[in-house]
Amino acid sequence: MPRRRRYRGQVTTAVASPQRKEHPSAHRTGPGVRLSAGTSAEPALKPAGAGISLRDSQPPLDEYYNALFAHFGPQHWWPGKTPFEVIVGAILTQNTSWANVEKAIANLRAESLLSPAAIDRIPLRKLERLVRSSGYFRQKARKLKAFCEFLRTEHSGSLERMFATPTIELREKLLGVFGIGPETADSILLYAGGHPVFVVDAYTKRMLARHGWHYENAGYEDVRRTFETKFPGDSRRFNEFHALIVSTGKQFCLKREPLCHACPLGRYREARR
């Protein structure tokens, strides 16, 4: 595995925030870019340490997908007029609501700053003010700077050249950029670049845990592999499926008092699937 080069942007005294991200409710997708509680018995679990899967079989992800798509229809993810705007949104939406991100993006658009070169040039303090609504604004301004430094240094400022890099190699490099963890890296790869990776979030883990397939604290890479093994190389399916899971998490698979009786996947949970 190649050694990661670190891109940290302009240094401040800020401390990086955790990498949990709340997803937008989306209006458009990709480059170009339009851009419960059930009471059924739970399955028998393997002992702790026996792996993240609670069963020897695999979840019926194709059935889950079809049930969710039939209920919600196409989700048209991710909101953004350009691939770079999608990247900015993926970074700014960490630990905040999409409404707060939209305000920050509107500020950047008003200042004609939604390009890598413009973010690279703007003074850090001004950038912090413009993205303040997104929360953790000092760290997020540094993250935007760090990504643009990476893009300039590694790919001469060209997103097209960056996204032409093989997925595994590009993912490893993105993870070396300050403030970009697995979920953000995969959001950039999938939604801005069309690379076939699946984005795992808290909604995904919660859904699989409630249906008895994984522990809710299962590792990110293990859960990602579950989806990518089922639908190898299918970036369109990954895009739509993740968006459908987020809609399910927001409307039915709530953290407290889930509405399993009304959920499109409720019948699978009743059948212990």
- Over 60: is that where the pLDDT of 211 sits? yes
126 in any annotated domain: yes
Do residues 94 and 145 both lie within one domain? yes
Indicate the residue among 157, 192, 227 that finishes a domain. Answer: 192
Do residues 130 and 208 both lie within one domain? no
Do residues 188 and 266 both lie within one domain? no
pLDDT on residue 242: 97
The radius of gyration computed from the CA coordinates of the chain, to the nearest angstrom, equals 19
Do residues 99 and 132 both lie within one domain? yes
Tell me the pLDDT band of 4, cut-offs 50, 70 and 90: low
Do residues 143 and 216 both lie within one domain? no
- Token pair for residue 77? 């993810």
Task: Quote the domain boundaries for residue 181.
Answer: 83-192
Cβ 174 vs Cβ 64: under 8 Å: no
Number of domains within the chain: 2
Rounded to an integer, what distance in angstroms lies between the CA atom of residue 148 and that of residue 217? 32
pLDDT on residue 124: 97
19 in any annotated domain: no
Do residues 93 and 116 both lie within one domain? yes
Alpha carbon distances (Å) from 172 to 112, 183, 186, 229:
30, 13, 11, 19
- Over 50: is that where the pLDDT of 50 sits? no
Do residues 202 and 120 both lie within one domain? no
Indicate the residue among 144, 160, 192 that finishes a domain. Answer: 192
Ramachandran quadrant class, 233 (left: phi over 0; alpha: psi -120 to 50; beta: rest): left
| pLDDT tens digits along 118-171 | 999 999 999 999 999 999 999 999 999 999 999 999 999 999 999 999 999 999
Report if pTM > 0.75: yes
CATH code of residue 169: 1.10.340.30
Tell me the pLDDT band of 49, cut-offs 50, 70 and 90: very low
